[in-house]
Structure 1
Amino acid sequence: MAYIIGVILLIIALIITGLILRKRVYDVVDRYEAWKMDILGRNIAGELSRIKELNLSGETQAKFESWKERWDQIVTKELPDIEEHLFDAEEAADRYRFSKAKKTLNETEKVLVSIEADIEKILKEVDDLMESEESGRKEAEEINPAIKSLRKNLSQQRYQYGKAESYFDERIDLLEEKLLGYNDEIKSGNYYQAKRLIDELRVNLTELEERMEEFPEIYKKCKHELPSQLHDLFAGLKEMKEDGYRVDHLAFEKEIRTYQEGLSDSLEKLDKGDASQAKEIMPEIEERIQEMYGLLEKEALAKNYLENQIPGYKKSIHKIDQSFDDTRAEVEELQKAYYIEDSDMERFISLDKAIAKLKAELEELENDMGDNGVSHSELREKIEQGFSQVKELERAHEGFKLRIQNLRKDELEAKAKLTEIRNELYHTQRKLKKSNVPGVPNFIWDSLENASFKNEMVLTALEKQPLDMNEVQQALGEAENAVKHMVEQTDVMLDQAYLTEQVIQYANRYRSQYPLLASKLTEAERLFRSYEYELSLEHAAKAVEEIEPGALKRIEEYQKAAMN
């Protein structure tokens, strides 16, 4: 029983599957049928009828017939065949031959796609043809008056084109011939060829318009302006030579002739309508003419500069030479009394050589002034450099003179400083003699003796011939330090002695009351009489501070007030 139910269910499933597959085939058949009807309903014939507005001959006629034939084939052959194929697919589906139905439908789809592609191609080619006709016609309508305008301008301005007028006449004739060729192609129904011709004609026209527009200016410059400028430049060059200007080194004559020949060759090509060489050479010539005038002007200014500045230049060199002669004599005299540093002598020798070089260059310059092979511009540069060198030498010379003059000044200052130091040494000695201290410690006498020795060293250095100021300055510095040190030591020693005396006197009031204090004061007095003032002060101060704290500070303040 279960087996029978299973078989029944399987049969039912197969029937349902068959129905579903058959429904799908029907759906595809319906879709392709609608597609076929859509194609059939399109107004392709109407689109093709637009071509009848054109000349149906030649290329256009061949195109129209091929399009019409293809559309007729689609309508009368391929679409009816599709109808039969769709019927076959339905019949196969009814018989559950789904593979055959699918194959038939696939082939039908390919045919429909091919038909769509062909229709799209036909419509595009129709549009292209109509557009080519329209755009070509508009181009021709614009080009025809443009060609006539070129002819008119050439006729009215023939003198601006010279012999090239015949060349441009021929070029306009060619444009007119191409325009006639365009019209012939239109009459023959060859619209694509006509469009190619009109496009080519537009390019040729634009090119010719540009060439004819720029030609008069190029021709004018090449035939009149630039030759005239070169001629004037050549004449000016010759005149400058006659007036004594040195321009041979510029070699402009050969360059001018080369440019003149180049313009002549360019003019021959211009007469044949070729402006390429002229356009290439003219900017170079124009730029070079300006450069030549600039160089000639520079030469003229240089000559005028030389005439005005050479006398002053000679005078400045003569002046610094004479001034240095005085410095040389002064140096020779100073060397007898002073030792001049090697660095200063190097500066002196360098100045001497530089001035000698300037004098030699001046002599060379004077020789070059008589040599026509040397340009005034070159001579001007030499003089300008010379003026700069003279100024630099003047600054260096003044610096050197100031330095050697300072030798005498330094000597006087050193002597004055020595006198000042010796006076300070003398006053310190008097201060020691007038002091009431029991005696002077040995280190003070040693310091005093060293300071005196250092002073003698300065005096010895000042008496040397030639005088070495570096040695004097060094000895003077040592003497100054020695005296300063001696004065400081003396002042400290005397202050300590006076303060010790005050402390002992102050502490005596406590001597009878404090036996220990009395003992310490006795030791302080012994040290005081032995000239050990620093140790004596330490003992006395320590003793009194133990009895009366702060006493030392009050004594010091009292002593300072008394000294002031």
Structure 2
Amino acid sequence: MSVELIVTLSLVLLAVLIYISTYYMKKKHFERIDELDSQKKELYNKIPTDKVRTLDKMMITGQSKEVANAVITDIDNIEGKNLQTIESHLFEAEQSTDRYRFNQSTKSEKKAVELIKETENSLAITSQNLEELLQREQANLRKIETIKKRYHKVRKELLAKSFTFGDSINSLEEKLGVMENLFTSFSDLTASGDHEEAKKVVSQLETRLTEMEIMMVSIPKLNDKIENNYDKQLEEIEEGHKKLVIQEYNFPESVDMEEKISLLAGKITHLKKLLSKLKLEAIESEQEIVEDLIDELYGTMEKEISAKHATEKLSRKLPKIMYYVTNQSKELSLELDRIGQSYHLYQEEHETYLELNKVVKEQKQLVSDVSAQVGKNDIAYSDAETLLIQAFDRFENLSKSYDSLSESLYSYREKEKEIKNDLEDMEQSLREMKRYIQAKHLPGLPNDYLDIFFYTTDHLEQLSVELARPKLDFKEVTKLHALCDEDIEHLADETEKIVDNALLTELTSQRLYRYKEEYPGVIETIKYSEALFLDEYDYETSLKMVREKLESIEAGAFEEVKAIYNKEKNYA
């Protein structure tokens, strides 16, 4: 096949493909244009032409007329502008398709789609507004009938139960009068055809009626609370206060009862004024103030009545505890003298006793002063009760303090016995340590150990001398006792250490001696250790010499020797 033939066939095939593709795209655009044209026709069919004519013929005025004109204008715009523009976009798309200008056709189709959606939304809103305008009068009339029924019910209840509304009755009747005027206004607007304004009046009526229905429920309760609770409680408080004054009750300086009662009366009057003006929100906060005042005044009077009984009871109890504390003081004075003859008091017991007596005297004077004021009616019972309770508590604490001081004094003899017993035990321990170390048959004792031994012995003798004095100085005795206790403990540790070092030296030397043939330095080490042991009594260094040598030959051997020693020691 020649090249010319191949080129010719390729061109023919390409032309066929271009034709088929162009035909397909052209067909798709025409189908889309037909579909959009159908949607446009549907919009034409949805235009409520008959209802617009009906609206145009209706006798309406005012706000309703303005809304109607706006609706008609919107319909005219849809029909005369939007739909014509859609038609124009579709015509442009059709022409562009015929000329194979598919991009331009697509743009025109998109504009038509957007305008169709916008017109659908606008037509839906406008049709709804049109329907509401046509139905407004009937809707208003239906709603006004429902409101009238509620209104007559409220009016009937207000007349039948007028006494339950107190001073608010006039304001409530005024509200009914305003609603009657609104009913008249509704009728006038409806008759003139201004149904939009009539709808606003219906909304006002419904709001006012709902507000009044709520008031009709809450006002009787509030009025009842003011008249049957607050007024009566005010009367009770005034009468109660008068009776207490006649009975010569006093009140704390911080509480002016007459001023508080006057304030309460003013607040209740203010509540009534708020109720008469229907200011229910303001009443709520004012109620809290009134109730707090009532509780405070009742509480103040009840507190004084209760305080009177408490004060009388305390007046009977206080002499008993004062008598008891006074006897404690006398007994403690004798004990101080007696104990002071045998011991130097080193914990400021005498100063503490004088301070306690000073407080007792002050509290007795306070009780006497308060009792005198109560007798002359110069003090509020609540103030007197507070002071007497404080005094009673202080006397109880003083009694406990006297007991503690007494225990402190009695402890001197117990401490003396305890220290004497400790001294006997320490002397016994010293003797036992001496026998224990002698039983080990050591060649001698190091000078350091002997110094500790004699130092301990001297302290024990000093403690014995101090305990034998006719009048003990517990500061010195306590100091020496602590020293002796430390010395005995230290001496016991050192004794155990010397014996352990000495015996371990012997056992370690025996173990080391096994290696005398193999290691020439063994004999020399043992001899040097023995010299320290026998001549200088340096058991610690002597042990160190043989231990280090043994460990250099047989690692871990010393620990074995030590373990055997400890086992035998514990067993013994």
State the TM-score bracket (shorter-chain normalisation). 0.5 to 0.7
| 1:210 alignment counterpart | 214
Match of 1:292 among 297, 313, 317: 297
Match of 1:126 among 127, 130, 138: 130
Shift of 1:84: 8.5
Q: Which amino acid aligns with 1:192?
A: E
Of 333-342 and 254-263, more deviation after overlay is shown by 333-342
TM-score (norm 1): 0.67
Name the SS of the counterpart of 1:41 in structure 2.
helix
Match of 1:165 among 166, 169, 186: 169
Name the SS of the counterpart of 1:323 in structure 2.
helix
Of 98-107 and 360-369, more deviation after overlay is shown by 98-107
Q: Which amino acid aligns with 1:316?
A: I
- Pick closer, same or farther for the CA change 1:327–1:40 going to 2, 3 Å: closer
The within-5 A match list for 1:359-508 is 359-370=364-375, 372-411=377-416, 457-458=462-463, 460-472=465-477
- Verify the 8 A CA contact 2:264 2:294 in the aligned structure 1: no
Name the SS of the counterpart of 2:46 in structure 1.
coil
- Verify the 8 A CA contact 2:459 2:480 in the aligned structure 1: yes
Shift of 1:215: 1.8
What per-residue deviation string (whole Å, max 9, x for no partner) do you get for residues 376-432 of structure 1? 222222222222222222222122212212334544666677789999999999x9x
| 1:303 alignment counterpart | 308
Matched, 1:57 2:60: yes
| 1:558 alignment counterpart | none
| 1:228 alignment counterpart | 232
Shift of 1:196: 1.9
* Alpha-carbon distance in structure 1 between the residues aligned to 2:111 and 2:479: 123
What per-residue deviation string (whole Å, max 9, x for no partner) do you get for residues 288-307 of structure 1? 21222122212211111111
Match of 1:186 among 172, 187, 190: 190
- Pick closer, same or farther for the CA change 1:100–1:412 going to 2, 3 Å: closer
* Alpha-carbon distance in structure 1 between the residues aligned to 2:145 and 2:355: 90
| 1:314 alignment counterpart | 319
- Pick closer, same or farther for the CA change 1:329–1:203 going to 2, 3 Å: same
- Pick closer, same or farther for the CA change 1:373–1:91 going to 2, 3 Å: same
- Verify the 8 A CA contact 1:222 1:278 in the aligned structure 2: no
What per-residue deviation string (whole Å, max 9, x for no partner) do you get for residues 315-337 of structure 1? 31232123212212331343233
- Pick closer, same or farther for the CA change 1:427–1:86 going to 2, 3 Å: closer
- Pick closer, same or farther for the CA change 1:134–1:252 going to 2, 3 Å: farther
* Alpha-carbon distance in structure 1 between the residues aligned to 2:455 and 2:115: 134
| 1:145 alignment counterpart | 149
- Pick closer, same or farther for the CA change 1:71–1:337 going to 2, 3 Å: closer
- Pick closer, same or farther for the CA change 1:349–1:128 going to 2, 3 Å: farther
- Pick closer, same or farther for the CA change 1:469–1:48 going to 2, 3 Å: same
Q: Which amino acid aligns with 1:464?
A: R
What per-residue deviation string (whole Å, max 9, x for no partner) do you get for residues 53-78 of structure 1? x9653365675576567657866898
Match of 1:357 among 362, 371, 375: 362
Matched, 1:281 2:286: yes
Shift of 1:102: 9.1
* Alpha-carbon distance in structure 2 between the residues aligned to 1:108 and 1:409: 116
What per-residue deviation string (whole Å, max 9, x for no partner) do you get for residues 473-510 of structure 1? 6667888988x989xx9xxx9xxxxxxxxxxxxxxxxx
Shift of 1:276: 5.4
| 2:557 alignment counterpart | none
Q: Which amino acid aligns with 1:165?
A: I
- Verify the 8 A CA contact 2:304 2:380 in the aligned structure 1: yes
* Alpha-carbon distance in structure 2 between the residues aligned to 1:478 and 1:79: 119
- Verify the 8 A CA contact 1:263 1:278 in the aligned structure 2: no
- Pick closer, same or farther for the CA change 1:413–1:248 going to 2, 3 Å: closer
Name the SS of the counterpart of 2:345 in structure 1.
coil
* Alpha-carbon distance in structure 1 between the residues aligned to 2:432 and 2:164: 112
What per-residue deviation string (whole Å, max 9, x for no partner) do you get for residues 266-290 of structure 1? 4345445445554432321122212
Q: Which amino acid aligns with 2:129?
A: E
What per-residue deviation string (whole Å, max 9, x for no partner) do you get for residues 427-469 of structure 1? 999x9xxxxxxxxx9x9x9999999977764554244343224
* Alpha-carbon distance in structure 1 between the residues aligned to 2:78 and 2:451: 142
Matched, 1:264 2:269: yes
| 1:497 alignment counterpart | none
Q: Which amino acid aligns with 1:321?
A: T
- Verify the 8 A CA contact 1:223 1:267 in the aligned structure 2: no
Match of 1:177 among 175, 181, 185: 181
Of 461-470 and 312-321, more deviation after overlay is shown by 461-470
- Pick closer, same or farther for the CA change 1:236–1:55 going to 2, 3 Å: farther
Match of 1:344 among 345, 349, 352: 349
* Alpha-carbon distance in structure 2 between the residues aligned to 1:131 and 1:390: 92
* Alpha-carbon distance in structure 1 between the residues aligned to 2:340 and 2:161: 92
- Pick closer, same or farther for the CA change 1:49–1:346 going to 2, 3 Å: farther
Q: Which amino acid aligns with 2:207?
A: V
Shift of 1:43: 6.1
Q: Which amino acid aligns with 1:264?
A: T
* Alpha-carbon distance in structure 2 between the residues aligned to 1:81 and 1:278: 64
- Verify the 8 A CA contact 1:222 1:282 in the aligned structure 2: no
CA RMSD of aligned residues (A): 5.5
The within-5 A match list for 1:64-79 is 67=71
Shift of 1:155: 0.6
* Alpha-carbon distance in structure 1 between the residues aligned to 2:388 and 2:262: 34
Uncovered stretches (5+) of structure 1, i.e. residues with no partner: 432-440, 494-531, 533-564
Matched, 1:246 2:250: yes
Name the SS of the counterpart of 1:342 in structure 2.
coil
* Alpha-carbon distance in structure 2 between the residues aligned to 1:115 and 1:427: 122
Identity of aligned residues (%): 19
What per-residue deviation string (whole Å, max 9, x for no partner) do you get for residues 230-250 of structure 1? 122122112112223222632
- Pick closer, same or farther for the CA change 1:386–1:415 going to 2, 3 Å: same
Shift of 1:254: 0.8
- Verify the 8 A CA contact 1:56 1:189 in the aligned structure 2: yes
* Greater gyration radius: 1
- Verify the 8 A CA contact 2:226 2:268 in the aligned structure 1: yes
What per-residue deviation string (whole Å, max 9, x for no partner) do you get for residues 487-541 of structure 1? xx9xxx9xxxxxxxxxxxxxxxxxxxxxxxxxxxxxxxxxxxxxx9xxxxxxxxx
Q: Which amino acid aligns with 1:206?
A: T
